[in-house]
Structure 1
C-alpha cells in the first residue's frame, strides 16, 4: 500500500522531474550496476548541455555523448570495458567531430576524493596519488597546498557536487532505502554529494526485507528522491545475483562506435525507437537475455539478534 513517503515512480517521470538541461549529472556504477536505462531515458528526453560525471566513462558515456546530451565530461580512466576504445569520445576530443567536448580528467582516487569532499561539504580533499603524474599539468583544478602541520606540499582536488546522481541497485523499498551487494563503487559518496538522487532498481521490496538485512543499505531513504522499478536497467553491465555482464555486447560496440552513422543508427533503434527498458530488452531478444541469467548462490544467513525482554512476574 502506498504511504506518504512512497517514492516509487516510473523512469520517464523521474528524469522529467529531476534532470534538466545544463545540469551536472553523475551516473555511477563501477563496472557493475551501471545505470544504462537511466542514461537512455535522458537521451530519449533530449537533455542538452549536461556535465557528465563518471569514474571510467565507458559505453554509457559513448552513447550519451553521441546523442548530443553532454557538453562537458568529468571523469577518470577512459575505457570500453576491456573491449576496445570509445570512438565517439575520441572523435570529440581528438578532432572536435562533430563538436568539441570539454574534458576534466582525474585519477580514480581523485574522483572518489572529489565526491567525498562534496558529500562532507569540504573546500577540497588532499591526496598523494598525483606525485609524478602529468595530470596536474593538464588539469588546473588539481593543485598543491602547504601542509599546515609542516609536512611537504600536498595535492588537493575540489569538491564535486552533482545536481543529480543516478545509480542502479539490486533493490530498494518504497521509501527509498537502497541496497546493493557485489562490487560497490563510489555510489554512496556520489549520492551524498548530490542535491538529488534517483535510484533505479531490479526489485522494489517491502520495508521488512530491508530491515532484515540493514547493512546492505548503501544509500538510505533520506538521501533518495525517486525510486524506479527497472529490471534489466544495468544491461549490458551486470547486476550481481540477477544477470551477468553481456561481454559480447561490449565487443560488438567497438565496430559500431568506430562509425558515427552506425552509432546514431543504434541509438535510433535501441533508444529512441523504444519507449522504455522493457521494450529495449525485447529488442535485444529473449534468447540473449535468458543467456545472461545467473544461477542462485546464496550467502550464509546472519543473525542480528534481538534484545530479550526482562522477565517481570514470571512473564517476558
Structure 2
C-alpha cells in the first residue's frame, strides 16, 4: 500500500545501486524532480528503461548514474541530440553506456507483458527492418494456433518505476489525465513504484473519459511535488517550458558546462522549488 513520504526518503527506499529503473512519461508528466533526487543520492550502475529518454535521462547518464539504457527513441524533442547520451556511447564519458534499442511498439508490449507477469511479449512487428540484426533480444516465435511468425522481446520488469501524476487522494490512489503513455503498465510491472504528484486531494471529482487511476496497492511511495514534471507539462497545471529544452542544448553539449549546471542547480541547490520553475519557466 502507498505511503506518503518525502522525495528523499522515497528514492532512498525504492532505488538502490544496480537497480533497473523506469521513469516514464510521454512528453507529458515526465518525473524530473524525482530524477534529480536520484542524481543527488549518487545512485550508480542503474539500468534505465524509457520509451523516449530525453533531458532527465541525459542528466542521469551524464552524472554517471547509468550503465545501460533500454529505449525506443532518444533526443531533445524539437531541438536535436542528447549530447551526454552521445558522449557516453561514443566516447565512454563519464563511462561507457550499453544501449539496447527497440521500437515504441516493442517497449509498450514489453511493459504490458511485465505487468501481466509474463516472461516475454509477442506482437506483429520488426518486419523488413534491420534492428533485429543488432539487438539479440529481438527474436521470433511461431503462433501455435495459426503458424504465424511473431516478434518477441523480453518483458520489462523494473526493480522500480518512477512517474509523475496529477493528483493523489488521501487513500493513496493516483490520477493521471491528459496524454498518458505507459505509466500504468510500467507501475504494474515494477517491484516498487514512486509517484510524485502535483497535489493531494480529498477526492478526484469529475473524471475525463481517458482518466487513469492507479490504486493504492500498486504504489510504494507518494510524494507531493508541485511542478515536479517541469520542464515537461502537467495537464491543467502548467505548460511545457519550450525555452528550457532549447537552452539545454548548449549546456548539455559541453562537459564543463554540463557539470557546472548540475552542480549549481541539482547537487548544491537541493530539491529546489519546482512549482516556481513551472510557473515562471525560468530554468535553465
TM-score normalised by the chain length of structure 1: 0.85
Corresponding residue for 2:241?
246
Q: Distance in 1 between matches of 2:6 and 2:171?
A: 15
Corresponding position: 1:8 with 2:1: no
Corresponding position: 1:261 with 2:256: yes
Quote the offset at 1:276 in angstroms: 1.3
Q: Report if the CA contact (8 A) 1:171-1:178 is conserved.
A: yes
Aligned counterpart for 2:21 among listed residues 25, 28, 31: 25
Q: Distance in 2 between matches of 1:109 and 1:162?
A: 18
Quote the offset at 1:129 in angstroms: 2.0
Corresponding residue for 2:271?
276
Structure 2 vs 1, CA of residues 229 and 138 (structure 1 numbering), >3 Å: closer, same or farther? Answer: same
Q: Distance in 1 between matches of 2:237 and 2:174?
A: 16
Aligned counterpart for 1:237 among listed residues 232, 253, 267: 232
Corresponding position: 1:141 with 2:137: yes
Matched residue SS, 1:277: coil
TM-score normalised by the chain length of structure 2: 0.94
RMSD over aligned Cα atoms:
1.9
Corresponding residue for 2:184?
188
Aligned counterpart for 2:162 among listed residues 166, 169, 180: 166
Structure 2 vs 1, CA of residues 6 and 226 (structure 1 numbering), >3 Å: closer, same or farther? Answer: closer
Structure 1, unaligned runs of 5 or more: 292-316
More moved, 76-85 vs 241-250: 76-85
Corresponding position: 1:47 with 2:40: no
Q: Report if the CA contact (8 A) 1:232-1:277 is conserved.
A: no
Corresponding position: 1:85 with 2:81: yes
Matched residue SS, 2:115: helix
Deviations 1:185-219 (A, max 9, x none): 0000000000111110000111xx13764973431
Corresponding residue for 2:55?
59
Q: Distance in 1 between matches of 2:178 and 2:150?
A: 33
Q: Distance in 2 between matches of 1:170 and 1:281?
A: 13
Higher RCO (CA < 8 A, seq sep 6+)? 2
Corresponding residue for 2:197?
201
Quote the offset at 1:135 in angstroms: 1.3
Matched residue SS, 1:176: coil
Corresponding residue for 2:69?
73
Quote the offset at 1:287 in angstroms: 4.3
Matched residue SS, 1:168: strand
Deviations 1:30-84 (A, max 9, x none): 0100000000000000011011111111011100111111111111111211111
Structure 2, unaligned runs of 5 or more: none
Q: Distance in 2 between matches of 1:194 and 1:113?
A: 15
Corresponding residue for 1:210?
204
Q: How does 1:286-297 map to 2 (within 5 A)?
A: 287-288=280-281
Structure 2 vs 1, CA of residues 257 and 6 (structure 1 numbering), >3 Å: closer, same or farther? Answer: closer
Corresponding residue for 1:225?
220
Corresponding pairs, count:
282
